[in-house]
Amino acid sequence: MENGEIPENANEHCPGPQSDSAGKSDACEGCPNQQICATAPKGPDPDVVAIAERMATVKHKILVLSGKGGVGKSTFSAQLAFALAAMDFQVGLLDIDICGPSIPKMLGLEGQEIHQSNLGWSPVYVESNLGVMSIGFMLPEPDDAVIWRGPRKNALIKQFLRDVYWGELDFLVVDAPPGTSDEHISIVQCLDAGSIDGAIIVTTPQQVSLIDVRKEVSFCKKVGVQVLGIVENMSGLCQPVMDFKFLRMTEAGEQIDVTEWAREHLKERAPEFLSIIACTEVFDSSRGGAEKMCREMGVPFLGKVPLDPQLCKAAEEGRSCFVDQKCGVSAPALKKVIDKMMENQGLSRMLVDNNA
């Protein structure tokens, strides 16, 4: 337990050997280190000091959270990082989803490795002003599972914060796993809640997601992290009519592809439809969705982003949705969300100064 590190054989919700409750809390019952922790002298964790020194060159730290998995949180984190980098900011993207790291793929960095320098671990760079760090770069094989208890996850997050040399950053975006567990507690404690600008929480309109987002908001309030806003992702399926596949159902229940016929029919009979974007609800939003929840909980609503197959494709291919017209439905919505977050936090001035 050198330097106050949590031992690998500790219980899952270990409070840490430097905590006042070390060896005394309910989480310590049955731990082989319980007696040592209870009697060991307490003091400030030297790693926290080292992390504070490392993070001193980072101007703004933004957490991206979600209550549920599969709501598009990592996609949003990746596109937020791409967008900020496109504004000529120096950006770092830290993936602390230890068991399910998606960021390397979504940034087009699969197969890359971490390199060591005399200054520490070097991030993997997408562009000269966009660096990425993830456990995904450390796995021997991409299919390898990370089967770790809380203490090992916490130790790696601490190591990321302490040992990665980001240099001067305008923004550090932290992509966290779903929920409110060890990783979230670790990142808040290690960064010190007061030095975090806040958290963006991603949800879908469905109630099963919003129920857990309420818990995420509650978590942020309890640990002193400001909620920068809620993003309602997958807010209806939207895409150009000509991108749809058209099917005809037979009496036997078989599907016949009539896409070519339908497109030709539209071209001949209703060419004005060719430029129309069709939208339909995927999740029931009759109860008001995220916007209503934000009013009830007193947190900002940043906006809605539709479910766009082209955005999904951009994430699969590891590219920005802002560089071409392919994501014509989702990219403007994402930009509006990001601009609103920047404006709400008084960060728009940074953009003006950056372009001066």
Segments in 176-299 forming alpha helices (H):
182-191, 207-223, 259-269, 289-297
74 is in an annotated binding site: yes
Q: Is the dihedral of CA 81, 302, 192, 20 positive or negative?
A: negative
Place of tokens 């974007």: 277
108 labelled ligand-binding: no
Establish whether 258 is an annotated binding residue: no
Is 4 annotated in a binding site? The answer is: no
The answer to whether 283 and 232 have CB atoms below 8 angstroms apart is: no
344 is written with which tokens?
């709400």
Residue 226 is encoded by which pair of tokens?
Answer: 């400001």
Q: Annotated binding residue at 327?
A: no
* Strand bridging mode 124-127 / 130-133: antiparallel
Structure tokens belonging to residue 6: 């949590």
Do the Cβ atoms of 123 and 164 come closer than 8 Å? yes
- Was 304 annotated as part of a binding site? no
- Non-local CB neighbours of 237 within 8 Å, separated by 6+ positions: 279, 280, 281, 282, 306, 307
Is 105 labelled a binding residue? no
Per the annotation, does 28 bind a ligand?
Answer: yes
Was 67 annotated as part of a binding site?
A: yes
Amino acid at 206: Q
298 is in an annotated binding site: no
Evaluate whether 4 touches 42 at the Cβ level (below 8 Å). Answer: no
Nearest CA-CA partner of 199 in 210, 211, 188, 212: 188
Distance, in Å, from the CA atom of 344 to the CA atom of 12, rounded to the nearest integer, reads: 38
On whether the CB atoms of residues 158 and 51 are closer than 8 A, the answer is: yes
Q: Which residues are annotated as a binding site?
A: 14, 28, 31, 37, 67-74
Q: Which residues are annotated as a binding site for [4Fe-4S] cluster?
A: 14, 28, 31, 37
Q: Which residues are annotated as a binding site for ATP?
A: 67-74
